[in-house]
Amino acid sequence: MGRTGLILLANKDQPVSNLKQLVAAAKAQPGKLTYGSFGSGTTAQFAGEMLFNLAGVKLLHVPYKGSAPAMTDLIGGQIPFTVDTVAAAIPQVKSGKVKAIAVTTARRSALLPDVPTAAEAGYPGIDADTWLALVAPRGLPADVKLKLEKALADVMADPETRKALTHAGFEPLDGNGAAVSALIAKELPLMRATAQRANITAD
């Protein structure tokens, strides 16, 4: 139904304004820099680990129980960096409370078009975001599935629905069950490889 990018953020007082500066800082202080996310095993942690692996640096992950407490500590300076959704970051970035470093998607976010991608910052090869999909139990009868897909398509065609999703920080999408299955099949191997490399386990 919709997607929102993930974004690397910095506390506004950090002497880091772009990804190359962050990488340099991490290399100068090996094992000392931290980054927060909205939870262990979340898309934010996966995106952070994928990005830092590409950049050849290691930051210690600090999991929070949700985006709000992580953002609060980022603004307050308790942690220097976080990875969060573009949707959650928009008001804080626009108000100047935090600094946007880079998005982890292959293209810039339409919601924060001035923020560069990791590839533009010199670290290509990452395309990580958060998406919304309607799911149902395995074994759903085919006729019921088609009926649900038709109903969802009708809802997604409604301009007010699309406007509400955009207002919430999501880019509306039109898809079906086959598209979601293809997306999962594409992302699972990447997630498994990242989990193994970064030792991400289910709590």
Q: What is the pLDDT of residue 203?
A: 62
In which element (H, E) is residue 65 found? none
Whether 203 is in a domain gets the answer no
What is the C-alpha to C-alpha distance for residues 90 and 92, in angstroms, rounded to an integer? 6
Q: What is the pLDDT of residue 191?
A: 81
Q: Quick one: what percent of the chain has pLDDT higher than 70?
A: 99
Q: Both 54 and 105 in a single domain?
A: yes
Whether 36 is in a domain gets the answer yes
Q: Both 10 and 108 in a single domain?
A: yes
Domain count of the fold of the chain: 2
pLDDT above 90: residue 44: yes
Whether 99 is in a domain gets the answer yes
Q: Both 22 and 100 in a single domain?
A: yes
Whether 21 is in a domain gets the answer yes
Q: What is the CATH number of the domain that holds 122?
A: 3.40.190.10
If you average pLDDT over every residue of the chain, what do you get?
Answer: 91
Q: Both 33 and 104 in a single domain?
A: yes
Residue 111 pLDDT grade (very low, low, confident, very high; cuts 50, 70, 90): confident
Q: Both 9 and 76 in a single domain?
A: yes
Whether 86 is in a domain gets the answer yes
Which candidate, 17, 34, 27, places its Cα nearest to that of 73? 34
Q: Please, what's the b/e burial string for 151-177 (b: 16 or more CB within 10 A of its CB; e: otherwise)?
A: ebeeebeeeeebeebeeebbbbeebeb
Q: Taking the model in full, what pTM does it have? A: 0.84
pLDDT above 70: residue 19: yes
Note the pLDDT tens digit of each residue in 49-105. Answer: 999 999 999 999 999 999 999 999 999 999 999 999 998 999 999 999 999 999 999
**Residue 73's domain spans which residues?**
2-130+192-198
Answer whether 2's CB lies under 8 Å from 170's CB: yes
Beta bridge partners of 63: 37
Q: Both 115 and 176 in a single domain?
A: no
Whether 78 is in a domain gets the answer yes
Q: Both 112 and 44 in a single domain?
A: yes
Q: Both 103 and 150 in a single domain?
A: no
Rounded alpha-carbon distances, angstroms, from residue 104 to 43, 51, 56, 202: 11, 7, 16, 23
Q: Both 28 and 73 in a single domain?
A: yes
Whether 187 is in a domain gets the answer no
Q: Both 123 and 149 in a single domain?
A: no
Note the pLDDT tens digit of each residue in 159-182. Answer: 999 999 888 878 898 888 888 888
